[in-house]
């Protein structure tokens, strides 16, 4: 396998990890309009709980379930007791969710300690496969597959199910949805929890790929998630996926050819997209 193909594949795998974080944020920020800066902290909690359950039981499937449930519950509680009075109030949302982020991150330090923890890949997904005569890690293929499945699943949910219709309608005119006999607050709470659950699900998948966890792991990934959402077009899932893959590939290429610029390149890419197409690659003009 040529170097270029290898770098591209790695870029796609990284992009899919970013997408797994971004997909929940697309629901919460892109559709519901909540600027949730605690999304990364929920991601981190998912990763840590997943790590703990994996360590205790040895079952990666249980780890995924427990991690996902953690995010779902955190999201539900957060919406119910903190976010609900502040729909439509972005300044309050920023202050509130930044505060929650700090509390949740410090909570990780209390429960799991501030040190870096190793997160091993499950045995079944260790090792490499041969692609075009070159080795490629199985786990990265797994990541790409999971990302693709989540994309298809969420797309199906939103476009084909009654829940999806309620979500899309509720975002546009919550009052009318209520007048049609639907408890829109309950739906919003569930969507928020679902988005948070997706973040923590992605976190358990991402953990072994990163190889280690630290309490601030959510912060850096959250930044990437916001960037890909803006690049893809706010509220557009396919756009977020493509944006994530773009960011993943650019970052991988940069890390190889020009490591000093690897961190700046995401923001530069976002700036470029915003200059050329302010609504994002696949966003609707508002």
Partner 1 sequence: MTTLLTVKGIQTFIGQYHILQGVDLEVEQGRVTLILGRNGAGKTTTLRSIMGLTPAKQGQIVFDGEEIQTLKPHLIAQKGIGYVPEDQGVFSDLTVEENMKLAIRKLDDATRARQDFVLDLFPDLKIAWKRKGGNLSGGQKQMLSIARAFVNDNRLLLIDEPSKGLAPIVVEKVMESILELKKRTTIVLVEQNFLMASGVGDDVFILDDGHTVYRGSMADVRSDEAVKKKYLGIGL
Residues that bind partner 1 (CB under 8 A): 162, 165-166, 168-169, 172-173, 175-184
User: Helix, strand, coil shares of the chain as percentages rounded to 5?
Assistant: 80, 5, 20
CB of 177 to partner 1, least distance (A): 7
What's the sign of the alpha-carbon dihedral 116, 61, 38, 284? Answer: positive
Residue whose CB is less far from partner 1, 29 or 72: 29
Contacts of 118 (CB under 8 A, 6+ apart): 211, 212
CB of 175 to partner 1, least distance (A): 6
Residue whose CB is less far from partner 1, 32 or 225: 32
Residue whose CB is less far from partner 1, 103 or 180: 180
Q: How many whole angstroms separate alpha carbon 88 and alpha carbon 93?
A: 9
CB count in 10 Å sphere of residue 180: 10
Residue whose CB is less far from partner 1, 88 or 181: 181
Residue whose CB is less far from partner 1, 123 or 175: 175
CB of 162 to partner 1, least distance (A): 6
CB of 30 to partner 1, least distance (A): 13
Q: How many whole angstroms separate alpha carbon 234 and alpha carbon 78?
A: 22
Residue for token pair 């991601």: 43
CB of 182 to partner 1, least distance (A): 6
């Amino acid at each position: 396998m040529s170097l270029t193909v290898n770098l591209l594949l790695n870029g796609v795998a990284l992009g899919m990890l970013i997408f797994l974080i971004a997909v929940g944020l697309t629901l919460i920020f892109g559709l519901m309009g909540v600027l949730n800066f605690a999304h990364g902290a929920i991601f981190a909690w998912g990763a840590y709980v997943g790590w703990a359950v994996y360590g205790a039981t040895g079952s990666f499937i249980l780890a995924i379930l427990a991690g996902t449930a953690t995010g779902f519950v955190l999201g539900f509680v957060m919406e119910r007791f903190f976010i609900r009075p502040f729909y439509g109030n972005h300044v309050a949302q920023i202050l509130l969710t930044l505060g929650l982020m700090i509390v949740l991150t410090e909570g990780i330090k209390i429960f799991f300690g501030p040190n870096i923890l190793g997160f091993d890949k499950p045995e079944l997904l260790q090792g490499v496969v041969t692609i075009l005569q070159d080795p490629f890690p199985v786990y990265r293929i797994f990541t790409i597959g999971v990302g693709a499945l989540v994309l298809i699943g969420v797309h199906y949910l939103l476009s084909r199910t009654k829940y999806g219709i309620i979500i899309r309608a509720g975002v546009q005119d919550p009052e009318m949805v209520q007048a049609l006999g639907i408890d829109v607050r309950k739906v919003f709470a569930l969507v928020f929890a679902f988005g948070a659950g997706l973040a923590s699900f992605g976190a358990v998948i991402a953990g072994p790929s990163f190889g280690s966890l630290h309490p601030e792991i959510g912060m850096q990934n959250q930044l990437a998630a916001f960037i890909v959402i803006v690049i893809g077009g706010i509220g557009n899932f396919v756009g977020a996926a493509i944006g994530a893959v773009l960011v993943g590939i650019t970052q991988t290429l940069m890390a190889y050819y020009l490591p000093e610029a690897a961190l700046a390149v995401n923001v530069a890419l976002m700036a470029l997209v915003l200059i050329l197409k302010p609504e994002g690659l696949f966003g609707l003009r508002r």
